[in-house]
A and B are shown apart, each in its own frame.
Chain A
């Protein structure tokens, strides 16, 4: 009799474990079912007037957190991209300890449903992965109207593989504070033109690690 008790007890424990296991299994299956029903369309996030005014320090940015990262974290993988004037660097190669890589592709932001499979570069001594003049912007020079302006080139999308291997597509909208209309006389006049080195851009961050920019699983 005395011997039975432990067995009974063991059986009980076993039953509880099986039940837990069963419960866990059901819960897992249930979770999976819920996920398939919750395919979420990715919406673009707009960042307005990101300050890249400093001529010495880069403004570091994390797509995952949609936030500026303190310069004290520059030696970490906490940031993906950084801005200083017209220069854009990625957290990789000569620019940072991370493994970010990127490229500029032509197209319409909303239509780019998938990140390219290849073609990503890291920042190197000879070239940044994101090319400035002629890459994402043109400098209008002396004789054009508006003159001496930095204008993003239409139809250029930056595609970035972040430091944690997630894909981002990004369109730079403006280099001037308040995202002004650059075809107006107010903008053409250097005296009334809004301040430069303020980025407005929109991006889609795919948190699930796939190259899909349309939907994600939650």
Chain B
């Protein structure tokens, strides 16, 4: 139903087959997902429309994205590559959480460090901004935003925009942006879904849609629980401990008039995890009971007003809070071992105005202010900072074959100074089957609270980490307490910490060599400077170190991304995706050139010089990643099926020959393949049954990839009822 609305608006915008081809080309660009989603869409519509090909046409035209410009735009008209993963595809895969969806996309790797995060163009998770309906999710641990927090049952589509987008979104959008677009009120219907699988993993969700005249309501409830899993049964505690979480999300919309529209959406998430940990020795175990609670909520009222056909203003207010508590007690006497909390808030009012000079000239201006605060066990006080920002964007089509997108944003931050982030993108349609596009952009990531204000001493090991702003005072205090053995580096030499910045270049081709085949190639290069790293400042009398943050590292990431899709029949689509990635530290390369990096031969332990060719780059980056997918959907008989194989090439884990860099074979984790399959059938458009198996061949690697569970079997049933009245669903 949502789709039909898009169809009409899309169809109005684009009439020619030529444009359709562009869309097709566009869609084929990133990963099998889009074509797959399209294929899925076509099949679905085949039952409604007489001609599958017509449905395809309509579906293609319907691709609307918001991430590239912060307003709804037809994907085909944008010079910026955006991957769109549609609801239908997510449903066909049987994904439950955002990491399930992202893990199968070309060029994205799921990594596990203080949570499950996503690596994009070789950047660690802290450099990718995660948005829900254009507003940022907060609550990162050591830079990672836990993707498992995000249920996908209410997602209309996921939009992935690679390359820096600080020109629009400010800090954190350095590697790219992932924008989760949730469902909007649409018709009157309700769905209940229940799923159960391996590890006692269960998921129950309900959605409710009510739309009448000017009023709309969409509500989503989800309960997810798992018993976790244990890859090392001989040790106490599980690899992943049992947890249960609840997601509530709803949206109310009200159209005061054709000109004035209002919506308010809210989200509440809560999770509880219980664990057992052994801090003793094999002979004398000391067991701890742990309980961790996570809670986050956000609320987002939006009012838009069209002064005229050409002039539209949107007021947005966004408030969010993220809290965690963690309590560990001794199993023996119940006394407290560790008790910590973390509270973060984010508030942002923003005004955005769009001015349509003509259909080919659109100007967007925005201003806003962000208040952020954090209060936690590891900080002295409640820490606050604020950012004022303004951005401008110009969408311009100077020639019929040339689309330009020019934008820039200025951020003024209370703690570390200001930042200007420009971006220029262009696309040129060479002919009916080939288009070339490129972009240049600057992205940045502001120093986060921990890098500025952390004041943390590890209770068991005894090291201390001080944020940049806490360094001088922290060292002075430790000195007065007699805890400092030796100052290694003058604290004043650390200087004021700056934002990390990246200059990015992307050049790509979109090709449609045959009617049903699409090929997209993108070459990227990111030059990053002022990366924030830690280094020891002083040695404590307990022989542990005091660390702080400083700007030093210069790295680059570069690579090629390619995606090919072929529609074998109207029911079957095949896709192949590949990414080549090289990510290296420039300082290391200079040291290698100067012959200053050494390694110990593992056989003799004698030191030798490392050659530049032996340098494997940054840890945890796979040079090769590959995926192959087949999706099947037959709307006539209600069957869907999919088989997906995801290969992650070998990647560096940690230094083994004691020279800090990745250079020896023993420092790599072997490459591996995970295969996922699913099949489902819909009866009478009401009942849908689905079964699936993730990690079909049960690949596990307890030592290096504990985040990868073994084979997971699951089955689900869902019931959808549609009607004018709000029926009870059994």
Interface residues of A (CB under 8 A from B): 106, 108-109, 126-127, 133-134, 138, 142, 144-146, 151-156, 171, 173-174, 179, 181-184, 200
Contacts and interface: CB of A to CB of B under 8 A. Distances in A.
Given A126-B486, A138-B658, A145-B653, A155 B597 contact: yes
B605 interface: yes
24 contacts: A106-B598, A109-B606, A138-B658, A142-B461, A145-B653, A145-B654, A146-B656, A151-B658, A152-B600, A152-B658, A153-B659, A154-B598, A154-B599, A154-B600, A154-B659, A155-B596, A155-B598, A155-B607, A155-B609, A179-B604, A181-B605, A182-B602, A183-B602, A183-B666
Contact of A155 (B655, B656, B659): B659
Contacts of A108: 598, 607-609
Nearest to A109: B607
Contact of A181 (B599, B603, B609, B658): B603
B658 to A, nearest CB: 4
Nearest to A190: B282
A57 to B, nearest CB: 21
B596 to A, nearest CB: 7
A128 B592 CA distance: 30
B657 interface: yes
Interface in B507-562: 536, 543
Main secondary structure of the interface of A (DSSP, over half): loop
B664 interface: yes
Contact of A152 (B461, B596, B602, B605): B605
Contact of B605 (A126, A134, A145, A179): A179
Contacts of B608: 108
Nearest to A138: B658
B703 A145 contact: yes
A153 B603 CA distance: 16
A183 B605 contact: no
A117 B485 CA distance: 29
B483 to A, nearest CB: 15
A151 B703 CA distance: 21
Contacts of A151: 600, 658
Which 9 A-B residue pairs are closest in the complex by CB-CB distance?
A: A155-B598, A154-B598, A183-B666, A151-B658, A183-B602, A173-B605, A154-B600, A154-B659, A154-B607
Contacts of A200: 605
B602 A181 contact: yes
Contacts of B602: 181-184
A181 B657 CA distance: 10
A133 B540 CA distance: 13
Interface residues of B, number: 28
A133 to B, nearest CB: 7
B605 A144 contact: no
Contacts of A109: 606-607
Contacts of A155: 596-598, 607, 609, 659
A201 to B, nearest CB: 10
Contacts of A179: 604-605
A109 B605 CA distance: 12
Given A126-B486, A154-B607, A154-B657, A183 B597 contact: no
A153 B655 CA distance: 12
Contacts of A145: 653-654, 656, 703
B609 A153 contact: no
Contacts of B609: 108, 155
A108 B606 CA distance: 9
A153 B596 CA distance: 13
A184 B461 CA distance: 27
B115 to A, nearest CB: 16
A153 B660 CA distance: 9
Interface in B666-686: 666
A183 B600 CA distance: 10
B509 to A, nearest CB: 42
Contact of B596 (A106, A127, A173, A181): A106
Q: Which of B461, B485, B597, B605 has the most CB of A within 10 A?
A: B605
Nearest to A133: B543
Nearest to B610: A154
B596 A174 contact: no
A126 B666 CA distance: 38
Q: Which of A154, A171, A184 has the most CB of B within 10 A?
A: A154
A182 B667 CA distance: 12
Contacts of B596: 106, 155
A126 B606 CA distance: 31
Given A106-B598, A144-B654, A156-B607, 14 more contacts: A106-B596, A134-B536, A138-B658, A145-B703, A152-B600, A152-B658, A153-B658, A153-B659, A154-B598, A154-B659, A155-B607, A171-B606, A179-B604, A183-B656
A200 B604 CA distance: 11
Nearest to A172: B605
Given A126-B486, A145-B654, A174 B597 contact: no
Contacts of B604: 173, 179
Contact of A171 (B485, B543, B607, B666): B607
Nearest to A127: B486
Contacts of B656: 145-146, 182-183
B234 to A, nearest CB: 12
Q: Which of A138, A174, A181 has the most CB of B within 10 A?
A: A181
Contacts of A138: 658
Nearest to A154: B598
B531 to A, nearest CB: 22
Nearest to A175: B605
Nearest to B605: A173
Contacts of A174: 605
Interface in B471-498: 485-486
Nearest to A143: B654
Contacts of A134: 536
A40 to B, nearest CB: 23
A145 B606 CA distance: 20
A154 B603 contact: no
Contacts of A154: 598-600, 607, 657-659
A35 to B, nearest CB: 32
Nearest to B543: A133
Contacts of A152: 600, 605, 658
A171 B653 CA distance: 27
Contacts of B659: 153-155
Interface string B340-365: 00000000000000000000000000
A203 B484 CA distance: 35
Given A133-B543, A154-B659, A155-B598, A182 B605 contact: yes
